[in-house]
Amino acid sequence: MTAGPSTLVTGATGYIGGRLVPELLDAGYRVRCLARTPDKLRDQPWRDRVEVVRGDVVSGEGLDEALRDVDTAYYLVHSMSGGRDFGHTDAEAARNVARAAEAAGTSRLVYLGGLAPEGVGLSPHMASREEVGRILLESGVPTAVLRAAVILGSGSASFEMLRHLTERLPVMTTPRWVRSRVQPIAVRDVLRLLVGAAGLPEGVNRTFDIGGPEVLTYAEMVWRFARVAGIPRRTIIPVPVLTPGLSSLWVGLVTPVPPAIARPLVESLRHDAVVGEDDLSALLGDHDRLGFDHAVELALRSTAESRVATWWSSAAWPSAPSDPLPTDPDWAGGSLYTDVRARYVDAGPEAVWRVVEGIGGENGWYSWPLAWAARGWIDLAVGGVGPRRGRRDPSRLRVGDSLDFWRVEEVVPGVLLRLRAEMRLPGPAWLELGVSRVRGRTVYHQRALFHPRGLAGHLYWKAVTPFHGAVFGSMADNIVATAEREDAERR
């Protein structure tokens, strides 16, 4: 463990937090992470170099322990989606951290918010971010609020939205926000400034705008992205009729970013997002910034080489169930529906595990594609995550990864993959895929589990049971067939 100044990172399971931790470690800081579910950090490559404390910023649980002897605390928690009270929840979480940090004698708070112009009506999400910044600035603990617009980095929601819109639509009819002026910034520059903010002079308590070296309209970003990616120039036809709500639905149809996440991104583009000052660079002596083309090139290269450290959906979906595992004692006596299947495989366990660990994303689910797609689109229509979040890495999974409309809950390499459903259901659901050896033969195991909530849950299971043979049965058969074929090809 490093012997330098102590830092606390909240939101370490998220996109920025998961990338900030190794940067702080490399800069010589001691790092402690606050997590509601510490197991989600278990497979991070830096896990054995940090201390993890179980806690929750919304309830305040664990904050006193987490902030004990901490010099700098990073507040990287946002409700990108959620219910009607997300603003109240965000504010209460910020107050909890502010109170605990002041009581603990923390020297500095650092918060990453959104860049918005002064004197205009802000969207609920942007207004919530501004309020969180004010709460932290008024906490009595010196605070640095960094405000950024579009963040360019492999796996960021803003970047993935831009990438998929550009790659998939040669001609796009777009709302007026494509004319808004934006000052995007590369994720590596954001991380460097966040690390630098821990060393600001003691009395600094203010907001800082951060951005890259160029101001572009969203349309110009689409055209520049196409040029860097080596695809034909896109035709953009702005129209005045697409509201943020309709725009977010349109983005949800074209990109993996579901409408609930796309809406705050779209709303942030309704107004210009241009840096008004660059004081943080002057204070830190850090003036180097990656240009748009270079940032896009690096992000595309990371994606192509499967070096995406965190994904935009790294943090758990807000409405996802957080019930105990189906193996926990609390399940005794409760209703638990299961669909269990097993198959002998004429291939080695390693061949089966490669298929299991590569499931989802571009590889699909090895069963009735129409049924999986339909279930995903239904989920998207009712405000869920939808079918196309994809995967962070095409061949490797770790605990906490999002996988289409599932979340990786457990990985035992070569033995077990457990996924928790994050689609909207009348009860929590899991899918387990496993490999074992029985009497010298390889066996593939598959188990779907559903814990119904109320009558709706029971009716749901009975309604979908007739389709299990086509969905889960063919899934087991096709995984086995793929493993056998790939194993034979490798010999």
383 with 263, same domain: the answer is no
> SS3 of 283, please?
helix
At 325 the pLDDT is 47
Say if residue 61 is in the same domain as residue 190: yes
Radius of gyration of the chain (CA): 23
Residue 327 resides in a domain: no
Same domain, 291 and 365: no
Which pLDDT belongs to residue 376? Answer: 66
Q: What is the Cα–Cα distance from 463 to 439, expressed in whole angstroms?
A: 38
pTM (2 decimals)? 0.74
Q: Are residues 20 and 158 in the same domain?
A: yes
Query: Residues 436, 349: one domain?
Result: yes
In a domain, 103, yes or no: yes
**Up-side HSE of residue 73: CA atoms within 13 Å toward CB?**
31
Tell me, yes or no, whether 26 and 119 share the same domain: yes
470 is in which domain, residue-wise?
A: 337-489
On whether both 84 and 122 belong to a single domain, the answer is yes
Buried b (16+ CB within 10 A) or exposed e, 289-308: bbebeebbebbbebbeeeeb
The Cα 314–Cα 301 span in angstroms is: 20
The pLDDT value given to residue 84: 63
| Amino acid code (one letter) for 255 | T
Burial of residue 453 (CB within 10 Å: 0-12, 13-18, 19+) is middle
Please report, for the domain that includes residue 459, its CATH number: 3.30.530.20
Instruction: Look at residues 309, 326, 346 and tell me which one is the last residue of a structural domain.
Output: 309
Answer whether residue 105 is part of any domain. yes
- What CATH number did the domain enclosing 46 receive? 3.40.50.720
Shared domain for 343 and 305, answered yes or no, is no
Domain final position from 309, 329, 347: 309
Q: Are residues 353 and 422 in the same domain?
A: yes
Same domain (yes/no): 363, 465: yes
Q: What is the pLDDT of residue 329?
A: 35
Residue 407 DSSP SS3 = strand
Q: Is residue 315 part of a domain?
A: no
User: Tens of pLDDT along the chain (491 residues)?
Assistant: 446 799 999 999 888 999 999 999 999 999 999 998 898 898 888 999 999 999 999 999 999 999 999 999 999 987 655 556 778 889 999 999 999 999 999 999 999 999 887 767 777 888 888 999 999 999 999 999 999 999 999 888 888 888 888 888 888 777 777 888 999 999 999 999 999 999 999 989 999 999 999 999 988 999 999 999 999 998 888 777 666 666 666 676 677 666 667 777 777 777 788 999 999 998 998 888 999 999 999 988 887 766 666 665 565 544 444 444 444 334 334 568 889 999 999 999 999 999 999 998 888 889 877 766 667 666 666 666 666 677 888 888 988 888 888 889 889 999 999 999 888 888 889 999 999 998 899 999 999 999 888 788 889 899 989 888 888 999 999 999 999 999 999 87
Position 177 scores a pLDDT of: 73
Angle at 109 between CA 111 and CA 135, to 5 degrees: 70
| 367 within a domain of the structure (yes/no) | yes
Residue 467 lies in a domain: yes
Q: Is residue 331 part of a domain?
A: no
Q: How many domains does the chain have?
A: 2
Instruction: Name the nearest CA neighbour of 482 among 387, 358, 380.
Output: 358
User: Does residue 320 lie within any of the structural domains?
Assistant: no
Q: Does residue 304 share a domain with residue 395?
A: no
Shared domain for 295 and 377, answered yes or no, is no
Please say whether the dihedral angle defined by the alpha carbons of residues 116, 118, 123 and 124, taken in this order, is positive or negative.
positive
